[in-house]
Structures are given as structure tokens and as C-alpha cells.
Amino acid sequence: MDGLRELTYLEAVREAMSQEMRENEDVFILGEDIGVYGGAFGVTRGMIEEFGPERIRNTPISEAAISGTAVGAALTGMRPILELQFSDFITIAMDNMVNQAAKIRYMYGGKGKVPMVLRTPAGSGTGAAAQHSQSLEAWMAHVPGLKVVQPSTAYDAKGLLKAAIDDDNPVIFYEHKLCYKTKSDVPEEQYSIPLGKANIKREGRDVTIVATAIMVHKALEAAEELEKSGISVEIIDPRTLVPLDTETIIGSVKKTSRLVVVHEAVKRGGFGGEIASIIAESEAFDYLDAPIKRLGGKAVPIPYNPDLEKAAVPGVDDIVLAVKEVLNRS
């Protein structure tokens, strides 16, 4: 393929934004320390040099204001990208996302639109502890009017971010911190991956794993391990929680008859419950040959100690065990 090279996930996010900003004057970024500092994780590094401080807009530490400002700008014709340093801070921006961005179009009877992207790094694994490590995507997925994206690879990140920016609705774009350094082949040219299209990361026969974000990588590792015992695992990455590609998931479960759902977010009230319920309500139910298994974070704030931090979220071993359990081979 032309212009294919390896890029990190972080570079892919940056490239998607830069390319779009070159194409579309209406796109700009606002966020804290995204200017010369380059953003908390360095995603916007170098961009202020190219696009200037007007469009790479350093903001005060005011998540409530910048989220609302993004809403107002979007409502009046811009396509803002809002970077929140940590997805945990979405709690401060929540009112604007939940009560304003998500509802304006509907409340106004279909007039007005809010084409904005809220990008934000999520997840544990960096030792940042309880207030900087959460995975709160289920909250956002619950709110009608928002779209929720969770890319797991560099390739997906670039294509999904392009689609998110092009979308006329508010999109919450979760970037997993541990994914930032992962690499994959990414085309140089712009491309779009439609929101609502799941990706089969690995084909298999015996069991379907639906995994999101970093858990896609862990599931792939687990699948390698399980292969040695002759267990063939299919891994589906929904990529977007809203809209959700139910068709691909249902199709896969009909094929394998077994489902394990894995996410890092706390299992209780997590999106895995939604996926499990969708299968239970779907035609795939009659094909289930084992109870659905959900793996998610323990119901605990993410601890600081590295060992405890690991223990709080599902690991490769947990996935291997869960798969064996649904196959009665544990």
C-alpha cells in the first residue's frame, strides 16, 4: 500500500488532527497546556508552531468553561476539538456535555447542531492513581445525543478521529494512555473509519471476545496463549460504543456460541452489561452455549501501588481463564 508506515497511536491522533486542520479552517483545538507544552501527553506537540495560537488554543484551567465554549463555537459554525488532559476531569465538563451538547439539537426540535470532539486520555496503568486513571465511558454512552469512540490501535485512531471531526454531533473520543505508544501501519493519506463499525481483530471459532481499548491488546495476547491449547478465539473491537455495531457482535456470537466481554472500566454498571444484554435479547441468544462472561475492573478506585493497580483491572490471565470457563475447560 502507498504511503504506509508505522506510526504510534499518539502520532496517529496528531496526524489526524493536523491533516484535518490543513483541510478545514473551521477545525481548531482548545485545551489546557496544548500550546508550546504540547499537551499533557504530548499529543499536540509541534502543532502550535504550524497552526498558531489562534487554532491551537491554550485555555485556562477551566474545564467547565472550555467545554461550554466548544459547545457554543460548534453551535455557531466551528468544529472544535476539545482536549481534556485526563478523562477523569470530564466530571467538571459534565454539565456542558450532558445537559448542553447532547441535548441542544433535540431540545431545539432538530435545529442547530453541535459538531465537536472531546478528546481525552483514559485508563489506568501509569501509576496516576484514583483521580487520573478512570474509565468512565459508560457514563457518556448512557446519554442520548452523544457518540462515544474508543480506538485501540493507531490505524483505528486516525480513521476514527477523522470521522469524529466530520460528524455533526458531539463525540467523546477516548484515547487509552497505554495505547499511545502502541504502533501499527497507518496510511499517510486521510481516511475515515465510519462510527458504528466494529472490527474483527482476530477470527476464531470457539469463543467471541468483545474487548475495548487496551483490553483489545490483552485479549489478543490471551488468544495467542489459548491457541496453544487448541482454542480458537474471535476478537471483536466495537471501536465505537455509540453507535454500536450490534450486527457484527451478534453475528460472531451466533458463530462461536460463547461470549466474553472485557473492558477496563469497572464491571458494575459497565458497558459490558449492555453488550451482554444485547446478546441476551438478540437472535444470538438461542446460539449461546454457555453463560456470558463479563470481565471488568474491580469496584475500587484505581490504587497507586503498581501491583494493586494491575490487580484492579482485568489481565491476560483473567481473560485466558474466563475463556476456558465458558468452554468448560478450566
Active site residues per annotation: 132
Per-residue H/E/C for 31-49:
ECCCCCCCCCCCCCCCHHH
Identity of the residue, 168 or 203, whose beta carbon is nearer to another protein in the bound complex: 168
Angle at 60 between CA 58 and CA 64, to 5 degrees: 115
| Residue in 22, 37, 46, 64 binding another protein, rule: CB under 8 A | 64
Bridge partners for 295 per DSSP: 262
| Residue in 68, 125, 273, 315 binding another protein, rule: CB under 8 A | 68
DSSP state of 142: T
Distance separating alpha carbons of residues 100 and 39, to the nearest angstrom: 26
Applying CB under 8 A, which part among 74-82, 117-125, 264-272, 304-312 lies near another protein?
74-82
Instruction: Please tell me whether the peptide bond between 243 and the residue prior to it is cis, using omega within 30 degrees of 0.
Output: yes
| Residue in 44, 100, 182, 252 binding another protein, rule: CB under 8 A | 100
- x/- binding map, residues 108-147, to another protein, per CB under 8 A? xxxxxxxx----------------------------xx-x
Verify binding: residue 75, another protein, rule CB under 8 A. yes
Neighbours of 308 (CB within 10 A): 12
Verify binding: residue 224, another protein, rule CB under 8 A. no
Query: 453488550: which residue's cell?
Result: 275
Q: Which helix (H) or strand (E) holds 11?
A: helix 9-23
Verify binding: residue 52, another protein, rule CB under 8 A. no
Q: How many residues bind another protein (CB under 8 A)?
A: 54
Identity of the residue, 103 or 183, whose beta carbon is nearer to another protein in the bound complex: 103
Contact 176, 152 (CB under 8 A): yes
Find the binding residues for another protein in span 274-303 (CB under 8 A): 285-291
Q: Grid coordinates standing for 86?
A: 485526563
Distance separating alpha carbons of residues 155 and 34, to the nearest angstrom: 23
Verify binding: residue 37, another protein, rule CB under 8 A. no
Residues that bind another protein (CB under 8 A): 26, 28, 54-55, 59-60, 62, 64-78, 80, 95-96, 99-100, 104-115, 144-145, 147, 167-169, 257, 285-291, 328
